[in-house]
Amino acid sequence: MKKWMVLGVALLAGCTTGKQPIEQKSSGFAGMGEGSAATQRARTFTDLAAAYYERAQYKIALDELRKAITADSHYGPAYNVYGLIYMDLAEDKMAEENFRRAIELNPNDSNARTGFGWFLCTRNQYDAGLAQFTEALSNPLYAQPEKAMTYAGLCAEKKGDLLLAESSLVKALKLQPDNPNTLLKLANLTFRQGRLMDARRLLDRHDELAPQSAESLWLGVRLERKLGDRAQEAAYGLQLRKRFPDSNEARLLLAGKYE
């Protein structure tokens, strides 16, 4: 999920009145200008920060973001990455402030709204999160609407609205039929709904497109257990224990907690 969250993060630059970067501690940096060269430097540093964020190298990512804000304190996508990092670090106040700053700089930044929406959903603010996804999707220039649709589906599932969850995930797949992330999320949802053959079909398609993960193998274990295929269940379980022995899914398997 993390890799998908940062895709396209530097597509949109914001421009509004200047503020200092919102950080845990004041950096003391001031913007160095608003010209295209400054914005390009900010974009470069933000792209680097996003790459380090993807690899969970948060300290280096934060260093790159400070450089981005120094180059152009009006560059909204930098604040979005700040928000993503602080979300991962469970610094909720800092995460929310930075997401809001990114959106303040550019209300049409659908990437920032998608990031903020997912943050809100993971903090059980489902309706507020769904509203952000709606705003993201209202932008006709959004390059990745399937991303917001997928996260909206996951948010709706967390809320318990399975109909909205399925509708959102299906729409995302129509836009990007071979997205393995969305296929796996829809497979999990259809399994939860008891539609086992649909779940198997979606899981098989996922496995054709992407390497198996702890999440996909664990779904395979539970799915084949429900379908009564003990050999396939054992095969999934063996791969899960062998390849992801320290995962939460492996721990659930060893504890026999299938539900």
Task: Supply the CATH number for residue 249's domain.
Answer: 1.25.40.10
Q: In this structure, is residue 248 part of a structural domain? A: yes
Q: In this structure, is residue 234 part of a structural domain? A: yes
State the total domains in the chain. 1
Please determine, for residue 32, whether its predicted confidence score (pLDDT) is greater than 60. Answer: no
Please determine, for residue 54, whether its predicted confidence score (pLDDT) is greater than 70. Answer: yes
Contact 184, 4 (CB under 8 A): no
Write down the residue that tokens 């790159």 correspond to. 64
Nearest to 148 by CA among 161, 131, 123: 131
**Average of per-residue pLDDT across 127-152:** 96
Please determine, for residue 48, whether its predicted confidence score (pLDDT) is greater than 90. Answer: yes
Q: In this structure, is residue 62 part of a structural domain? A: no
* Rounded to 5°, angle at Cα 46 from 48 and 142: 115
Q: In this structure, is residue 212 part of a structural domain? A: yes
Mean pLDDT of the chain: 89
Q: In this structure, is residue 161 part of a structural domain? A: no
Q: Give dist(CA 35, CA 239) in Å, integer.
A: 53
* Amino acid type, 247: S
Q: In this structure, is residue 52 part of a structural domain? A: no
Angle between helix axes 76-88 and 110-122 (nearest 10 degrees) is 20
pLDDT bucket at 36, cuts 50 / 70 / 90 = confident
Domain of 184, in residue numbers = 178-259
Q: What pTM did the predictor assign?
A: 0.82
Please determine, for residue 24, whether its predicted confidence score (pLDDT) is greater than 50. Answer: no
Q: In this structure, is residue 238 part of a structural domain? A: yes
- 38-44 long-range contacts (CB < 8 A, ≥24 apart) are 38/71, 38/72, 39/13, 39/71, 39/72, 39/75, 41/67, 41/68, 41/71, 41/72, 42/13, 42/68, 42/69, 42/71, 42/72, 42/75, 42/78, 43/10, 43/13, 43/68, 43/75, 43/77, 44/68
Please determine, for residue 22, whether its predicted confidence score (pLDDT) is greater than 50. Answer: no
Q: In this structure, is residue 186 part of a structural domain? A: yes
pLDDT of residue 123: 97
DSSP-derived 3-state class of residue 211 = coil
pLDDT of residue 68: 96
* Rounded to 5°, angle at Cα 161 from 177 and 193: 65
Burial of 30 (0-12, 13-18, 19+ CB in 10 A): exposed
Least confident of 27-36, 152-161, 205-214: 27-36
pLDDT of residue 19: 34
Per residue in 148-180, pLDDT (tens digit) is: 999 999 999 999 999 999 999 999 999 999 999
**Average of per-residue pLDDT across 37-48:** 94
Contact 252, 218 (CB under 8 A): yes
pLDDT of residue 42: 95
